[in-house]
Structure 1
């Protein structure tokens, strides 16, 4: 990496919402069959806050948006009793394999602590081991939109 990555609130880069919505729709659209790419964009627009959940961040590298992360009040049609959620952990394909995912998750966990959040949830299709290295614990598995997912929690 020629430059250090930075984490910046999405509210400072709203012009990137269409591109990010396309990434998220391509990555997770099958888990949200009722949502269109435009719905993903409006969900992102709802996170243009500062200091209050829901929040989204962009991972910048060499002045390019290469990743995203969010903390949302809810992230599933089920498990509405659990909140808030770490969500939208996404790296553009060219940014993968460089340790940026670990950096991104750690930075957002720090942001959560600074916001006074004592517990977070997430769900993952295939990466529970990735999150366990940061202290996340499996809560349960369930079939969600036809896909087996692991719901995990973290508390500080």
Structure 2
């Protein structure tokens, strides 16, 4: 069974998740070390404010992560962004990424954001989740946007 929660509630998974992000996207900032990436990832251990990281885990082992961040890059003028979506190869195709993305979207809606953005290496996957292509490109990938439903009123 896969469990999904905010990193703040499962910080023991931060080192492994951060190492995935370093290996997958570290080339974008060659000066950053694994320690730097781990520190930035741990800064996402928030419960009710951006940035927030989410983790999926099975049997005490992380199997995926995604984040909701204000900006993906310092140059961003809009947001928040669904970022750092990663599931190790052996766990892909099980809906883990989809559930993590939905958690990020739900959190964004609860925080009052009307839409979320992302840059997509696999745009077709995100189109299935309701994202639409924009005319922008970032890191050689198309930028996509999704309008969010308003959060349900709290009792």
Q: What range is the shorter-chain TM-score in?
A: 0.7 to 0.9
Residues 1:133 and 2:128 are matched in the alignment:
yes
The residue that corresponds to 1:152 in the other structure is 144
Could you tell me which runs of 5 or more consecutive residues in structure 1 were left unpaired when the two chains were aligned: none
Deviation at 1:64, TM superposition (A): 2.3
The residue that corresponds to 2:86 in the other structure is 90
TM-score relative to the length of structure 2: 0.85
Contact 2:119–2:137 (8 Å) recurs in 1: no
Looking at structure 1, the residues matched to 36 and 135 of structure 2 have their Cα atoms a distance apart, in angstroms, of 28
Deviation at 1:129, TM superposition (A): 1.0
Could you tell me which runs of 5 or more consecutive residues in structure 2 were left unpaired when the two chains were aligned: 149-155
Residues 1:112 and 2:142 are matched in the alignment:
no
- Number of aligned residues: 148
1:69–1:143 Cα change, 3 Å: closer
Contact 2:131–2:146 (8 Å) recurs in 1: yes
Looking at structure 2, the residues matched to 121 and 34 of structure 1 have their Cα atoms a distance apart, in angstroms, of 26
The residue that corresponds to 2:64 in the other structure is 67
Structure 1 residue ranges, 4+ long, deviating more than 6 angstroms after superposition: none
Residues 1:9 and 2:1 are matched in the alignment:
no
The residue that corresponds to 2:54 in the other structure is 57
1:41–1:137 Cα change, 3 Å: same
Query: What is the SS of the residue equivalent to 1:38?
Result: helix
1:34 pairs, out of 26, 31, 34, with 31
Looking at structure 1, the residues matched to 57 and 50 of structure 2 have their Cα atoms a distance apart, in angstroms, of 21
Query: What is the SS of the residue equivalent to 1:58?
Result: strand
TM-score relative to the length of structure 1: 0.85
Taking only aligned residues, the RMSD between alpha carbons, in angstroms, comes to 1.7
1:33–1:77 Cα change, 3 Å: farther
Query: What is the SS of the residue equivalent to 1:112?
Result: helix
